[in-house]
Structure 1
Amino acid sequence: MLTIKKLSVTFGQNVALEIDQEIRFEENDRIGIIGSNGAGKSTLINSLLGIVPYKGDIQTNLTPRDMAVHLQENSYSNNVSVKLIMETILGTKLKANKELQELIAYFDFDKCLAKRFNKLSGGQKQRLTLILVMLQKADLTFFDEVSSGLDFETRQILMTKLTNWYSQRSGTLCVVSHYYDELEKLTNKLLLLDKGRVVAFGRLEELFSQYCGYSVITVEDTPVTKTFFGEYRQLKAPSQVLALACHNQEDERKIVNLCIQSNINYKRRNNDIEIMTLNAKGSEEVSHG
């Protein structure tokens, strides 16, 4: 579908993106793109869409009409109803378009149709843009921080609907997000960027195995637990979390038994994107140290 052979983007003297390994987007991939601010996430999307100039080789049989994009910030006219905005942008009438009616019902957006855009809440504005993007049924769709600025409950509802919708439909998705739980729900591959370079790219289970092991047992990080589990490999983890790498099922069994015998609360993880990302970046720092 789309292959990045080599890609370089510069703004003045600053290198915003430098990809020197092959990145392939396959049909029906669900690719999460993650990285800190300035990592090159939006620059990558803009390059693939042809919005910013770049040097390199992007091979694809897709045309701009085969792609759709949901941007972080979207603004529409406040002088007309949301219904008219939809019909104008999509070039269709609501009454004549059953798929549009289905999406409006799916996102519980019916009561918003008569409102002006500036009267919508943050979550309602996101739903409007999602409906406009999803109705295109593009071969390749980009979602750039789709739930940015929303409260926790609204974000959870929105992501659940988005996940369920695409679980029954084809098309390749590229999801830019700094929320690990969103990526775990929506994606099966991960592209990790840092300072404009690729740290890791691959299927989630493969990357987890590479950087974390068979599984990870997490407990509260205290002086006692750090000493208690000192013989086991300790991974980089969020603050107040001690992450213990299990190389195989036997390692996992030993650590779990120790937790049970010592009355230590624990969690087993085999797909934790946050812990995997921290250790992938740590590995990259060591290799360039």
Structure 2
Amino acid sequence: MLTINQLQVSYGNQIALNIQKSLHFKKGDRIGIIGANGAGKSTLLKACLGLIPYSGSIDTKIKTSDMAIHMQENSYTENMAIKHVLEAILGTKIKTNTKLQKLIEYFEFSPSLNKKFKALSGGQKQRLTLIMVLMQEAPITFFDEVTTGLDFETRSHLMEKILNWYQNQDSTICLVTHYYTELNQLANKILILEAGEVIDFDTKEALFHRYCGYCVILVEKTAKAQKFLSNFQQISGPPDKLTIQCNTMEEEKEILLILLSHKLNYSRTDNDIEIMSLNAIEHFKKEHTNHEKISA
């Protein structure tokens, strides 16, 4: 559907994005794009949409005009009712467009139609833009920090709505977010960016096993826990936890026997995206450091 090759974006003398690997976004993919501020996430989206100049190639049969994007912030005129804003931008009438009526009902947006934009809550503003984005039925849609600034309940409700809407569709979704729970809900693949470079891109499961092993055991970081678990491999994780990597089921059983015999509370995960990304970035930085030492 879309292939990125040797993509580079510069702002003046600063390279904002430098993708040397080929990235393939396939039909039906649900791709989560993560990275720290300045990692190049929004820059990548803008390049795919042809909004900024770049070198390299983005190969796709889809016209950029047929792609859709939901930006982090959107502003509309504040002098007319939202129903008229919707109709003006979409070029249709609500009362005659059953698809638009369905989306308004789906997002529970009817009570907001007579309000002006400035009177909408953050969640209502995002629903407004989501309605317009989903009306396009684009083969590929980019969501850029859709739920930033919203409370947990509103975020969860919106992500559930997006997930359910696309459940039986084969369109491709690219979601930029710093909320890992949203990635767990929606994404089947993860693209990790750091300082404009690709750390890795693969399925969630493959990335977790690559950087975290078979599973991870999390134990409160106490002197007692450190005493009994010092012989096992620790990886990056929450600062208040011992994050123990298990490479096999047998190793996991060995650790659990120790924890149970010494009455140490623990949790287990084999799909934590945050822990996976922390260790992927750490691995990337170590490789770069070793490469620089060898080059020197």
TM-score normalised by the chain length of structure 1: 0.98
Conservation of the 8 A alpha-carbon contact between 2:68 and 2:138: yes
Query: Superposed, which structure 2 residues align to 1:229-240 within 5 Å?
Result: 229-240=229-240
Question: Partner of 2:161 in structure 1?
Answer: 161
Shift of residue 93 of structure 1? 1.1
Aligned to 2:211: 211
The SS at the match of 2:53 is: coil
Q: Which residue identity does 2:234 align to in structure 1?
A: Q
Residue aligned with 1:130, SS: helix
Within-5 A mapping of 1:34-73 = 34-73=34-73
The amino acid of 2:249's aligned partner reads: Q
1:29 corresponds to: 29
- 1:109-258 aligned at under 5 Å gives the runs 109-258=109-258
Q: Provide, for residues 113-153 of structure 1, a one-character-per-residue CA deviation record: whole Å limited to 9, x for no partner.
A: 11000000011001111111111110000000000110111
State the distance in 1 between where 2:257 and 2:101 align: 54
Task: Please report the RMSD computed on the Cα atoms of aligned residues, expressed in angstroms.
Answer: 1.0
Counterpart code for 2:22: E
Stretches of 4+ moved more than 3 A in 1? none
Native 8 Å contact 2:213 2:246 kept in 1: yes
Q: Distance in 2 between matches of 1:34 and 1:209?
A: 18
1:89 Cα deviation (Å)?
1.1
Q: Provide the C-alpha distance between the structure 2 equivalents of 1:160 and 1:263, rounded to a whole number of angstroms.
A: 38
Q: 2:272 is matched by which residue type in structure 1?
A: D
Map of 2:19 onto structure 1:
19
Shift of 1:72: 0.7
SS at match of 2:130: helix
Q: In the comparison of the two structures, how many residue pairs are matched?
A: 289
* TM superposition shift of 1:105: 1.3
Task: Tell me the residue number matched to 2:89.
Answer: 89
Uncovered stretches (5+) of structure 1, i.e. residues with no partner: none
Q: Letter of the aligned partner of 2:133 in structure 1?
A: V
Compute the TM-score of the two structures, normalised by the length of structure 2.
Answer: 0.95
The alpha carbon displacement at 1:224 in A equals 2.3
Q: What is the deviation of 1:103? A: 1.4
| Partner SS state of residue 89, structure 1 | helix
Q: Percent identity?
A: 50
**Residue 222 of structure 1, CA deviation:** 2.1
Mapped to 1, the partners of 2:218 and 2:134 lie a distance apart of 38
Aligned equivalents of 1:43 and 1:211: distance in 2? Answer: 26
Cα distance, 1:6 vs structure 2: 0.9
Please give the alpha-carbon distance, in whole angstroms, between the structure 2 residues aligned to 1:60 and 1:26: 11
- Aligned partners of 1:13, 1:154: CA distance in 2, in Å? 40
Q: Contact conserved, 2:219 with 2:265, CA < 8 A, in 1?
A: yes
3-state DSSP class of the match of 1:62? coil
**Greater mean deviation of Cα atoms: 186-195 or 255-264:** 255-264
Question: Which residue does 2:103 correspond to in 1?
Answer: 103
